Structure 1
Amino acid sequence: MKAEIIAVGTELLLGQILNTNAQYLSQELAGMGIDVYYQTVVGDNMQRLQHAIEHAAQRADILLLTGGIGPTQDDLTKDALAAVLGRSLHIDRLAMDQVEKFFVNRGIDMTENNRRQALVIHGSTPLPNETGLAVGIAIAQDEKFYIVLPGPPKEMKPMFDGQAKPWLLQHALTDEMPIYSKMLKFAGIGESLLEDKLLDLIQAQSDPTIAPYAKEGEVSVRISTKAESELEALKKLEAMEAQIQKRLPKHMYASTDVPIEKMIVDIMADRGLTLSAAESCTGGLLMESITSIPGSATMFQGGIVCYSNQMKEKLLHVPHALLEGEDAPGAVSHEVAEVLAEHVRMITDSDFGLSVTGVAGPGYSERKPVGLVYVALAERGKKTDVFELRFSGNRETIRIRTVKTLLHHLWLRLITHQPESASDEVVQ
C-alpha cells in the first residue's frame, strides 16, 4: 500500500520548527511494509489544506495528517478533512472529560476554545492522547484510510505507536502478511563504507530487505521480512543478520535499536567496571551521553571538563611544558590526550579513563586545523592507547563524531580485551 504524510502548520513552512514527524512516520511505515511516495507540508489555511487532502487521496491509500488539531482557530485539520469527506464534527465525550479534568486538576479556568481539542469526525475512531489533550482520529472511507495525529512529537509518537498503528493493521493491512524487522546498529564506520561492504547483499535483496539509515556518528541497517509467523520470520532475519555481522564484526555492536553508550553501560555494569572522562573540545558531551543511560551510576565515577589550559594543569596535573612553550606539543596533541586519560583514571580510581582534546572549530587553535582531535583510552594496568582523528563538518558534527568514535574504541576494548593499535587514524 502507498501512504502520504501531510504535515500541517505555517511554522513548518517558515522553517521555525523541523518536520521530524515525517521522518519518524516514514521509518515506521516502511517497517510495516507501507511505501511513502510523497510528503506534503501545508500551512494553516482551510482551502489549501482541503486541496492537499484531495490531491493526496488521488495517489495514496493511506493519508496521515499531523498537526493542526489544537484549540485555536487556525487549527483546521479536522475541519478540512471533515469537509473533504462530507461528514460532520462532534465532541467526543471521553476526550472532553480528559480536557476538563486537566484544567480542574490545575485549578485553571478552561476557555471555550479548548473544546475543539475533543472534536472527532462522525463515524471515526477516536485515538486517545496519552501525553496531551487533543484527541486523534482514524477513519476509512471509499477504500482510503485517514489518520489524524497531533503535531508535537511527544504526543504524536505514542499515539501512532499505541493507537494508530494497531488500527492500520486491523483495517488497512488485513490482507497483508505481518512484517517483522530487526535494527542492526554500527559504529566506527561511515554509511558509504558500510554500504560498500554490503553492496552485493543490498543489490540482491528480495526477502529479507535491507535498508541503511545514517545520522551523525552512527549507522543503522533495518532488515525486514514478511512471514506468516514470528518463528518463520526470525529464521530469515537471523540468517541475514549472521551474514552482515560476519562481514563487520568490529562495527556491529547491537541487533536492537540502542545507542552504543547503552551497550557500554550495560557491559561495564555487568562486569563491575568503572569509567571516568576528561573532556576539552567536546565540553561534557561524552559524559552526557554516558549519564543519559539508566544504570550509568553503577559504572561512571565522574569526569572533568578541562576546557582551558589552566584547568588541564590545575585539575588534571598536565605538565606546563606540554601545554605551552616553543617546543611544547600543545593542548591538542597525542601527549596531552594520553596524560588526561591516565590522570583522570587515577584521580577517580576507575578502571578506564577516556579523554578528548581537539579543534572543533570554526577557527584554528594552536595553528592546528579544524577537525583534528586526539582521544585516549587508559585502562588500569595496561598501556594507554591514543588515536588521532580527522573530521570534516561543522562544530557540532565534529563533537558528535568524536564522542561516538571514542565510544566505539571503548566498546572494542571491552569485547575483545585487546588494545587497539595506537597508530589508527580515522578520517570521516
Structure 2
Amino acid sequence: MNAEIIAVGSELLLGQIANTNGQYLSQELASIGINVYRHTVVGDNKKRMTSAFQEACERADILFITGGLGPTEDDLTKEVTAELTGKRLMYHQPTLDFMKQFFKQRKRTMSENNKKQAHYTEGSDVFYNRAGLACGMADNYKDTLLILVPGPPRELKHMYENTIKPYLLKELAGEFLVLSRVLRFFDIGESRLEEELIDIIQAQTNPTIAPLASDGEVTIRLTAKAKTRSEADVLLDKVETQIQQRVGKYFYGRENETLPVQVVKNYGKKGVTLSAAESLTGGWFAKQLVDVAGASAMFEGSSTVYSQSAKNKVLGISHDLMDKYGTISKECAEAMADKVRLQYQTDIGISFTGAAGPEPLEGKDPGTVWIGISGPNGVTSYALNLAGSRELIRRLAVYYGCWFLLKEKVVNK
C-alpha cells in the first residue's frame, strides 16, 4: 500500500512556513507499513489543486491532503474534493455545535464563514478536531482513499494520533498486523552503516529496513507485516540479529531512547552519580540530562567554567597548567573532570572543552574538542575533530560525552 502527501497553502510555496507535516506523516505512516512515495506542495488555487489531486489519485492508494480546511475564502480543499468526487458538501452537526459552544464560551460571535470548517462530503467519514475547529474527513475517489487533515501541526498531530491512525489500522486489519522497531546507532555515518548492511538492505522484503541519519547518529526503522504480533516479532528479531552482528558496537538504544535518556537510565539503575564541568558546552550537557525524568537520582550538578578565570576560581585548575598546555588540551580536560568529580563528590566526573568556532581558539581549529572522564580508577580523555556550525559542534560534543559515558565501565553500587 503506497501513499502520497499533498500540502496545500501558498505560504508553503513562499517559504513563510516549513512543511513539517510532511515529515511527521511520512514517519508515522512508515511505522504502520504504509510507504510514502511522493510529496507535493500546491498553492491555494482551485485549478492547480484539482490537477494535483487527480494526478496523485492515479498513483496512490492513499492520498493525505493537509491544509486548506479553514474559514477563509482561499481555504478550498473541501470544495475541490467535493467537485472531484461529485458529492455535495454538508455540515457535520457535532462539529458545528462544538464551534458554536467554543465561540460562546469566549463571548465572541461566530461569523458565517466559520461554518465552512464543519463541512464534509456526503457519505465520508468525519474526524473530530479537539485541538482546533475544522474537522477532517476520509472519502474515496476511484480507487484512492482521500484523507483530509488540518494544516496547523498541533491539530494535525492530535487528529492523526487520536482518530486517523486507529482508522487506518482498522482499514488494514483485515490484511495484516504491522509492527515497527527502531534501533539507534551512534559514531557511525549513514553511508558507512549502509555499506556494512548493504546486502541485508538490498534483500529486504519483510521486514523493511529504513535508515535515517541525524546529527551524528543513525536510526534504523524495521517494519514487519504479519498475521499476529508473535509472527511479526520473529521476523523483526531475525533481521535485528543480523544487523547487530554487523554494527552492534555502535548500537545504544531503541525507539525514543536518546543518548541522554540512556545515560540517565543506565547510571540511575546502577546507582552511579555524575557531575560535569562545561566550558565548550556552556551548560548544554546538564540541560540535556535534567530534561530527562529521573535525572535527579544520578546527576548532582554542573559547573559552567567558560573562562580561564572561572576554571581556576571554581574548579581550582592551576594557571600554570593552562598556560603550559592551553585550555583546549588533554591535560586541561582531565583536570576539569577530576576536579568536578571531587567538587561534587560523585562517582564520575565529565568535562567538555574545545573550540566551537567560527574562529580558531588558542591556535586550535574549530571543531577541536577534548572530553575528559574521571572515575574511581583514574581519568580518561577523548580527542574529537568535529565539523559543522558552532551550534552543531557543541551539540555533537554533548552527544559524544553521553556516548563515552555509556561506554564507561561502571559497576552497580
TM over 0.5: yes
Q: Residues 20 and 105 (structure 1 numbering): CA distance in 2 closer, same or farther, change over 3 Å?
A: same
Q: Residues 59 and 340 (structure 1 numbering): CA distance in 2 closer, same or farther, change over 3 Å?
A: same
Indicate if the aligned counterparts of 2:85 and 2:140 stay in contact, CA closer than 8 A.
no
- Counterpart CA distance in 2 for 1:82 and 1:94 is 20
After alignment, is 112-121 or 355-364 more displaced? 112-121
AA aligned opposite 1:402: A
Q: Who is 1:398 aligned against?
A: 393
AA aligned opposite 1:75: D
1:336 aligns with 2:332: yes
Q: Who is 1:359 aligned against?
A: 355
**How many matched pairs?**
412
Matches within 5 A, 1:12-411: 12-171=12-171, 173=172, 176-323=175-322, 325=323, 328-379=324-375, 381-411=376-406
1:112 positional shift: 4.3
- Counterpart CA distance in 2 for 1:23 and 1:310 is 46
Indicate if the aligned counterparts of 2:7 and 2:65 stay in contact, CA closer than 8 A.
yes
Indicate if the aligned counterparts of 1:250 and 1:412 stay in contact, CA closer than 8 A.
no
1:236 positional shift: 1.7
- Counterpart CA distance in 2 for 1:105 and 1:319 is 65
SS in 2 for 1:249: helix
CA displacement, residues 329-348 of structure 1 (integer Å, 9 cap, x when unaligned): 22222122112222222222
Indicate if the aligned counterparts of 1:179 and 1:227 stay in contact, CA closer than 8 A.
yes
- Counterpart CA distance in 2 for 1:105 and 1:288 is 39
CA displacement, residues 80-133 of structure 1 (integer Å, 9 cap, x when unaligned): 222222223333222233334444444555444443333322222121224333
TM-score by length of 1: 0.89
1:43 positional shift: 1.8
Percent pairwise identity: 43
Q: Residues 393 and 300 (structure 1 numbering): CA distance in 2 closer, same or farther, change over 3 Å?
A: same
1:215 positional shift: 0.9
TM-score by length of 2: 0.92
CA displacement, residues 170-228 of structure 1 (integer Å, 9 cap, x when unaligned): 33x36632222211111222212222222232223233222211111221111222211
1:146 positional shift: 0.7
- Counterpart CA distance in 1 for 2:294 and 2:73 is 46
Indicate if the aligned counterparts of 2:84 and 2:141 stay in contact, CA closer than 8 A.
no
After alignment, is 363-372 or 395-404 more displaced? 395-404
AA aligned opposite 2:15: G
Q: Residues 375 and 140 (structure 1 numbering): CA distance in 2 closer, same or farther, change over 3 Å?
A: same
Q: Residues 61 and 351 (structure 1 numbering): CA distance in 2 closer, same or farther, change over 3 Å?
A: same
- Counterpart CA distance in 1 for 2:189 and 2:107 is 53
SS in 2 for 1:179: strand
- Counterpart CA distance in 2 for 1:382 and 1:100 is 68
Q: Residues 409 and 42 (structure 1 numbering): CA distance in 2 closer, same or farther, change over 3 Å?
A: same
Q: Residues 140 and 261 (structure 1 numbering): CA distance in 2 closer, same or farther, change over 3 Å?
A: same
1:407 positional shift: 0.7
Q: Residues 159 and 404 (structure 1 numbering): CA distance in 2 closer, same or farther, change over 3 Å?
A: same
Indicate if the aligned counterparts of 2:270 and 2:411 stay in contact, CA closer than 8 A.
no
